[in-house]
Chain A
Amino acid sequence: MDPTPFIGLSAILFTIGCIGVLVRRNAIVIFMCVELMLNASNLALVTFARVHGNLDGQVAAFFVMVVAAAEVVVGLAIIMTIFRTRRSASVDDASLLKY
């Protein structure tokens, strides 16, 4: 199997995730887009592990998953706390420090 299409797909998914983070306003959807970017990088890591013929890339992807899980837990707790105080999950409403 030619690895180039996998890397291309990974790049496309990463780009979509990037645009999503910049465009969307809902904090939870932004979080999902970050997850999409992490997943895209995982795909590249797994593909390169196959290209190079060792499992280091897969171990790296595994660590990315673990870190993503921890990040999601803390991030969603923060979103919950913000929602509790400001009654909104939109990133535009969390602008208290601006004034």
Chain B
Amino acid sequence: MVLFWMLAPVMVLAALGLLFVRKAVHAALLLAVVMVCLAIMYAMQDAPFLFAVQVIVYTGAILMLFLFVLMLVGVDASDSVIETIKGQRLAAAVVGLLFGVVLVVGVAQVTITTVTGLDVANKDGNVQGLAQLLFSKYVFAFEATSALLITAAVGAMVLAHRERLTPKRTQADIAAERMRDYVAHGKPLGPLPSPGVFARHNAVDTPALLPDGTPAETSVSRVLTARGTIRSAPDLADDIDELTRGMRADGEVRPGAPGEAAAPAENDDVNPKEK
């Protein structure tokens, strides 16, 4: 009973969280907490088979399905705060609380005097006892369940299936389209330039430098550009300007000299890389 009083507040809090969290993913995780706690309660109440089924089917399969659909639908699809029916939220809360009070008071008034316990029913083992019931008394319900499951599977396939409206693009189609683009718009046929070539860094966020010193925009991933994590083009151009200026200054001071020892202090960090 100690375990019950430890688990029950956790379950009620997690279930209440289901009402208040904004993000659907958090709701799914809270529901997972409730279900795992419920599984432990089944184990406490002499139902080891249901414990396993609860963990495998509910937390393992159903909640993963929920999370899967959440990922498909969009994780950031949070609840809207706008009430379409005025006062519906408050009314729902009041009616729900009344329902709960009635339910709890009703349960509290019933006194269960004798608890038989499952020791006799489980004497051959819980799974064996359940199997004997399932395949004798409830065999038609069990068969109906199989029909239900197969209907559900087919139904889900029919609902989720989408006919292809356009023919699938093959590799040959893509190659032909690329050639057409080259002819019409002059798009490069080969791969795009890789980042960092001839630049000061060879990191992916540094655009390659073209022979005239300007950064090649196409050499950096579009995603990085959109995030704004690349080193900006003017920034790099500054580097180049500085470098060329330093070289010119070097040349003016000592024309024709190798220029390794007497380089100006501010160009110390660029000059060795240049050579």
Residues of A within 8 A of B (CB): 1-9, 11-20, 22-26, 28-29, 31-33, 35-36, 39, 42-43, 46-47, 49-56, 58-59, 61-63, 65-74, 76-81, 83-84, 88-90, 92
A–B Cβ pairs within 8 angstroms, 12 of them: A8-B108, A13-B12, A22-B96, A23-B19, A46-B50, A49-B47, A55-B126, A69-B61, A71-B152, A72-B66, A77-B160, A92-B80
With a cutoff of 8 Å between Cβ atoms, the chain A residues found around residue B108 in the complex are 4, 8
CB <8 Å contact, B80 and A50: no
The minimal Cβ–Cβ distance linking B94 to chain A, given in whole angstroms, is: 10
The answer to the question of B166 belonging to the interface, with a C-beta cut-off of 8 Å to chain A, is no
B interface: dominant SS: helix
Q: Are A2 and B45 in contact (CB under 8 A)?
A: no
- Asked if A32 and B46 make an inter-chain contact with CB atoms under 8 angstroms apart, the answer reads no
Binding site for A on B (CB under 8 A): 1, 4-5, 8, 11-12, 15-16, 18-19, 24, 27-28, 31, 34-35, 38, 41-42, 44-47, 49-50, 53-54, 57-58, 61-62, 65-66, 69-70, 72-74, 77-80, 82, 84, 88-89, 92-93, 95-97, 99-100, 103-104, 107-108, 110-112, 115-118, 120-122, 126, 129-130, 133-134, 137-138, 141, 145, 148-149, 151-153, 155-156, 159-160, 162
